[in-house]
């Protein structure tokens, strides 16, 4: 297979940007081209293309303060490509790293690469424990390639966006809490930023995303983060659908290893 060069990648990027230009304001379009496809990112993308992990881009899914998400085609079919471009708060990110025994802080300049490594390893650990998260495929520098959650390049909606009257919100909430429980007990990880913005609903099942800040249960603030995750997600379901679970009872059940009612009606033992 011929090795892809910078010029080849630029053609693919230009094709993507021409296709997407009408969807973005000139200012946002410039930011994507200027800040995402910089020298470092191009170098890392070339590594992924030349390893056969990536084959093409299809859409720009979203652009946030810290990362741009692209959909694409890889050696396993549709993929999500998460390109980190900055960290919004150095101190906030350091809080999630400094107490995690798996990672030693190296330098501010390496924080992006470390953040990608952290998300990749957290996804692996969650997936292995049966938590419903995208499967991680590869990483290179500031880029993470993972399973695409959605159809034909279009992402599944975030929980915040769901208005489907046909869903049973109580089943969805219990499914999310079951995944939180599996994460804590089996993966020994706490998401630490769980909300309606980082849960996708796909094929009537919730998928948890954005796990870069997840910490181990040995982290000094793990219980604080777990309580916050549970409280935040229950508060959303209470406001949107009027479901009234008690966050303290849910937290105690997770910590004490009580049975957890699964979304399929079966019970699991801790």
E strand map for the chain: 54-63, 67-74, 77-84, 136-140, 143-147, 150-151, 154-155, 189-190, 199-202, 205-208, 215-216, 260-261, 267-268
* Active-site residue, from 193, 246, 264, 267: 193
Class of the 156-268 domain? mainly alpha
This prediction's pTM = 0.87
Residues 97-102 have a mean pLDDT of 64
Distance CA 173, CA 206 (A): 9
Distance CA 262, CA 55 (A): 38
Reference 62, options 24, 118, 26; nearest CA is: 24
CA distance 51 to 21: 29
Cα 65 from Cα 76, distance rounded (Å) = 29
Query: Is 193 part of the annotated catalytic residue set?
Result: yes
Residue 33 is given by DSSP the state I
Give phi and psi for 254, each to the nearest 5. Answer: -65, -45
Q: Tell me: the pLDDT tens digits for 104-161?
A: 655 555 778 888 999 999 999 999 999 999 999 999 999 999 999 998 778 999 999 9
At 216-247, the pLDDT tens digits run 999 999 999 999 999 999 999 999 999 989 99
Catalytic position from the list 210, 229, 248, 264: 210
In angstroms, rounded to a whole number, what is the distance separating the alpha carbons of residues 167 and 36? Answer: 37
pLDDT above 50 for 263: no
Is 175 a known active-site residue?
no
Taking residues 163-184, what's their average pLDDT?
A: 92
- On average, the pLDDT of the chain sits at 85
Locate the domains of the chain by residue range: 6-154, 156-268
Architecture of domain 6-154: 2-Layer Sandwich (3.30)
């Amino acid at each position: 297979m011929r090795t892809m060069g910078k010029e080849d990648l630029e053609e693919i990027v230009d094709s993507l940007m021409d296709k997407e230009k009408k969807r973005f304001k000139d200012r946002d379009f410039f930011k994507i081209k200027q800040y995402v496809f910089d020298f470092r990112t191009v170098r890392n993308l070339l590594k992924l293309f030349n390893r056969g992990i990536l084959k093409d881009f299809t859409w720009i899914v979203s652009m946030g303060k810290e990362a741009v998400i692209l959909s694409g085609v890889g050696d396993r079919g549709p993929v999500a490509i998460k390109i980190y471009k900055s960290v919004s708060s150095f101190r906030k990110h350091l809080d999630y790293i400094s107490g995690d025994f798996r990672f030693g802080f190296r330098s501010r300049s390496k924080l992006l690469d470390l953040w990608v490594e952290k998300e990749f390893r957290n996804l692996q650990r969650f997936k292995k424990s049966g938590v419903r998260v995208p499967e991680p495929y590869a990483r290179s520098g500031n880029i993470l390639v993972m399973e695409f959650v959605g159809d034909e390049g279009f992402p599944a909606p975030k929980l915040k966006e769901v208005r489907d009257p046909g869903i049973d919100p109580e089943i969805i909430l219990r499914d999310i809490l079951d995944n939180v429980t599996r994460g804590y007990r089996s993966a020994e990880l706490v998401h630490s930023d769980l909300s309606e913005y980082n849960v996708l609903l796909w094929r009537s099942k919730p998928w948890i995303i954005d796990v870069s800040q997840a910490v181990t249960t040995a982290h000094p603030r793990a219980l604080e983060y777990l309580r916050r995750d549970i409280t935040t997600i229950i508060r959303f379901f209470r406001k949107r659908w009027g479901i009234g679970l008690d966050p303290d009872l849910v937290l105690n059940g997770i910590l004490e290893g009580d049975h957890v009612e699964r979304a399929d009606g079966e019970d699991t033992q801790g």
